[in-house]
Structures are given as C-alpha cells and as structure tokens.
Chains A and B, each alone.
Chain A
Amino acid sequence: MELIGLANYALFMGIFIGIYALLALGLNIQWGFAGLFNAGIAGFFAVGAYTSAILTSPSADGRLGGFELPFFVGWFGAMVAAALIAWPIGKICLRFRSDYLAIATIGVAEIIRLVIKSEEVLTNGARGITNIPRPFGDLPYVQSQLAYLAIVAAVLVVAYLMVQRQFNAPWGRMMRAIRDNELAARAMGKNVEYRRLEAFIFGAALMGLGGALFAHFNRSITPEAIDPMVATFLVWIMLILGGSGNNKGAILGATVVWIIWSVSEIATDQLPHEYAVKAKYIRLFLIGLMLQLVLRFRPEGILPEPLRGDTRTDDNAVK
C-alpha cells in the first residue's frame, strides 16, 4: 500500500517536472538564447491553459465553448494562442532594455490574470473551466497517471530536440550573438528587433504548451493556478540553477527545483499546527536561499552554456 502511494507520488512529480521543463525550455529560448528578461511566464502559461481548456472541454452554459475538440488540437491551439498573444506584447515591450522588459512583462501577465478572472463569458471567471478531458483519463488511476507521464515525456523530448537543434544552428548562433552584443550584431546585418520577436514568440509558444499540459492533467483550470510565484519565479530559478543557455540544464534545473519544492511540502506538513500557515513562506524562503547560493557560488548554473567545440574533428572521429 505504502509502495503504491510512493509510486503515485513519483508519477505525479514526474508529470510536473515535465511540464515545468517545458516552461524552462521556453524561458531558455528567451533568456538563454536571446537575453530577453521575461518575467511574465505565468501569462503565456495561462493563455495556453485556457485556450486548450476552451477548445477541448464539453460545451457549457454561460461561457464560450467548449468545443469538445481532441486534446492534440487543444494543445496545438494553446501554442498558437500563446504565440499570437506574444506577438503584440513583444512588438511593444522588446524595445525596452532588460530590466524594463521585466517590469513590462510582469504587468502584462497581471493584465492577463485579471482578464481571465473577470471575463466570465470567456473563462467562466473565478470558477474556472472544469471537465477538461485528460488523454487516457478513463483508465484506472495509476495507469492513467502513467499514460499521461508518457505523453508529457514524449512532448518534452520532441520539444527538447527541436530547441536543441537551434542552439548551434545559424539561428541560435545569431540569437546568442544578439544577446552578447546588440550593436555589433546590428553592424553585422542582423535585424535585431525582428529576431528578438521571433525568440520571444517561440519561447511563449512552449510556455503555452506547458500551460495546456497542466490544465489537462488537472482536468480543470482556475485563475488561482496562474500564481506568478509558482508559474514565473519558480521557472526562473529552475533555469538559473540548471544553467541558462543550456537546454539540458533547463531540464535538470526543473527536476532539481521541483523535487526540492515538492519534498519541502512534505517537510512543512510535519510542522506543528501553529506553524502550518507559515509553511508556504518557509518553502519560498528555501527556494530564495537556494537561488542566492547558486548566484553567489555558481552563477553559470550546474550545466553552463556549452561551447560549440570542433565539429570537424568530431566528424573525423566518426569516420
């Protein structure tokens, strides 16, 4: 009995790590590749979650949809919607330098949260959207969890391969060059504004996908899920700890931070009742402390940005 509980917990954790790894990969494109300080991850996460929820849930009174479309249509729609939202935001905000961009994106994420909370016709307001179908959700509990973990893992692998392909490709090289020295990249003929917008949209699409996976796993989405603490700052800590500019690092960071975050909940649950209210803040403190230590002693993260290396000798070695 105990063992099954533990297995369940591990499955649950694995699914969340997968979802967060997608968010961290998205942020790595924006920050690690392009140097864009997006502090509004929660906003794109929410757009993705709600888009897929509306597209796939059964039709309900008093709100838009649902359209009962297959889940993969919803997930694709989530990416498209997040990308479409990112486009005007990027168009306006990417003109700001890094710290101002952070402030602007925090603001935008907050606007999205408030719109979701108050536009009942679109999102059913504070009650949120329920009855979102989960693929293989009809299976018995453990099997269903396992099947969902497999889907999340598959999505993550595909996303990782697609992002990793870009890193050393001319596109990624150009993005990293723009990140390192905007003026010189411009002098070398690169259209900095356009390219930044591309990276911003690409990253936002992955964040939207992460949101959709989250909504389908929970079978529901409410405005409370769009907590900037959990959906934005936790992702930042994951990327910085894992190693920004390194896709494997992003995934590793998501794994490490989520395990600590999740296990710390078990620990704080053991606290005497009078401390239980403070438990959330103890966990936040732990995560904050971890970030401080990483920034102080290993600012490049566990896995630093990789060097391109000599691909010619690698080729020779294969021959």
Chain B
Amino acid sequence: MLELDQLVMDFSGFRAVNGCSFRVDEGSITALIGPNGAGKTTLFNLIAGALVPTSGTIRFLGEDVTGLSSDALFHKGLVRTFQIPHEFHRLTALENLMMVPPAQIGEGLFANWLSWGKVRASEAEVEQKAYDTLEFLELTHVAHQRAGNLSGGQKKLLELGRTMMTDAKLVLLDEPAAGVNRTLLRKLEEKIQILNKERGYTFILIEHDMEMIEKLCDPVICMAEGAVLIQGDFQTVRSDARVLEAYLGETAGEVA
C-alpha cells in the first residue's frame, strides 16, 4: 500500500531522514518507534506531503506520490494527526470535526446562496456524524467550546476524531496515546482495531507506549538516526540488541 524508497530529508545541512526504506501492507497496523530525534515525525511529514523529500520516492496505492501536497494526498485517502495538537482554535470542537468531510456541497460559495436546502441536508448528516464521533471520544460536553480552550488531552482526541470523519485508507497517528488517560486509551485501542478490521483502515503509529504497541501493532519498525534499524514483530524488535541500546535501554525489555 505504501512504499518508501531511500527517502532523504535535509534541513540546511542537518539530515533528519537518511535513506529510509520500508513498505506497509494494506490492512496492517504498523508501529514506528525510536528515540527522540530519530526522524519519525519528519518521516510522517514526508509521507503526508507536508514536506518534500530531498531525494527518494514515496509510492501510495501503487502510484508515485512524491512531492504531492497534503491536501491532494488527503483526497487519495491518506489522513494524519499531529504530535502537537493542531486544532482550529477559534472553531468549536464540533466544527473542528465538521470541517473534515471532503467535497461538502456548502464549500462552494454559491451553493450556500442558491441551494441552501441541499446544504442544510448535507450539514445535518455531517453534524450527526460529528456528534457521534464526539460521543465516542467522550467529548460531547465540550462540543460547543472553542477548541483552543480544551485541555491538551482533549485536543489530542479531537485530532484522532478528525481521522474518523472521513473514509481514509491510510491513517498516520503521531503519538495518539500521549496525554490520554488509561481508560480512554483502552477504548482508543479498541477503536483503532475496529476501524482496522471493519473499515479496512491501514494504520501507522508513532508511539512510545509499549503496551499499546504490543497489543495492536505488527510489524514494528524501529528507527534510529533517520534510517530503519530493524523491522519485525513486537517480540523480535523488543529483544533486538541494537534496539535495546538505541531506544529501550537495557532493562526496558523486562519492564515492558
């Protein structure tokens, strides 16, 4: 579904991603782990079209999408969340979700003047979907609050909610568990599995929560210094000596 080939990203002399190659199969939930500064988020930005790679190619659904803008990639079925919440701060939580569905009839200026009835019908549908999503995320009580006033964890959930408002094929989640309480986290894991099994979403997660990764992800890819260190199932990666040294530390294997 997604193939990265020798991706390189230079930031004026600093090489954040250095010859990174891997492929993600349709229907899988892939974890991307690694120490801070390993290039995980930069890699996400490359895949999602927020950055254009210095060299290398990205293929999505068999098509070369290298250098395509993120809005074009969204319409091909690629949706991402941000590590630091990027909420629309003056919009309400509900509006944050309602803006997501693509090709809403009311996104045309003239449709709102000339065929308001159709716009309202489409809005009712979108609104219901947004309320359902908020309910799932336990955010119903803040539906009409400005998103900028929500707590860090709530913003994080809102990010996840946006990916549920569209028919995605590949979803990139950047640290979905950070700042989210444990009970909700279990629900979140469940939801990811449901979306994966029933709606066929493919996921790539950047995550530091080993418990979540063990439960959800296969394969696991560990990155270090901008390249893939090792790829394999959770047990293989966790017990790999290089991963222990670079990321988990000597004792982490026992703790997790």
Contact = CB atoms under 8 A, between A and B. Distances in A.
Nearest to B108: A171
Given A173-B99, A308-B95, A310-B144, A245 B107 contact: no
Given A183-B50, A188-B99, A310-B144, A176 B87 contact: no
19 contacts: A165-B116, A169-B106, A170-B98, A170-B99, A170-B123, A177-B91, A180-B91, A184-B88, A185-B99, A186-B70, A186-B71, A187-B50, A187-B71, A187-B74, A188-B71, A245-B90, A305-B90, A307-B146, A312-B127
Interface string B46-66: 001010000000000000000
Given A171-B109, A187-B50, A191-B71, A308 B144 contact: yes
Interface of A: 162, 165-166, 169-171, 173-174, 176-177, 179-181, 183-192, 198, 202, 245, 305, 307-312
Given A177-B95, A177-B96, A187-B80, 11 more contacts: A169-B123, A170-B98, A170-B106, A173-B98, A180-B87, A180-B91, A184-B87, A185-B99, A187-B79, A188-B79, A189-B166
B184 to A, nearest CB: 22
Given A180-B88, A184-B82, A173 B48 contact: no
Nearest to A167: B112
A113 B116 CA distance: 40
B89 interface: yes
Contact of A174 (B80, B99, B127, B144): B99
A36 to B, nearest CB: 15
Contacts, number: 106
A192 B71 contact: yes
A317 B89 CA distance: 29
B92 interface: yes
B91 A198 contact: no
B119 interface: yes
A308 B113 contact: no
Nearest to A309: B144
A187 B99 contact: no
Contacts of A170: 98-99, 104-107, 112, 119, 122-123, 126
A183 B107 CA distance: 18
B112 A169 contact: yes
Contact of B90 (A171, A180, A188): A180
A185 B82 CA distance: 12
A25 B127 CA distance: 28
Contacts of B71: 186-192
B215 interface: no
Nearest to A184: B86
B88 A176 contact: yes
B146 A171 contact: no
A166 B104 contact: no
B143 interface: yes
Contact of B69 (A171, A186, A188): A186
B99 A181 contact: no
B123 A307 contact: no
B111 to A, nearest CB: 8
Contact of B106 (A162, A171, A190, A310): A171
Given A176-B88, A176-B90, A184-B87, A310 B143 contact: yes
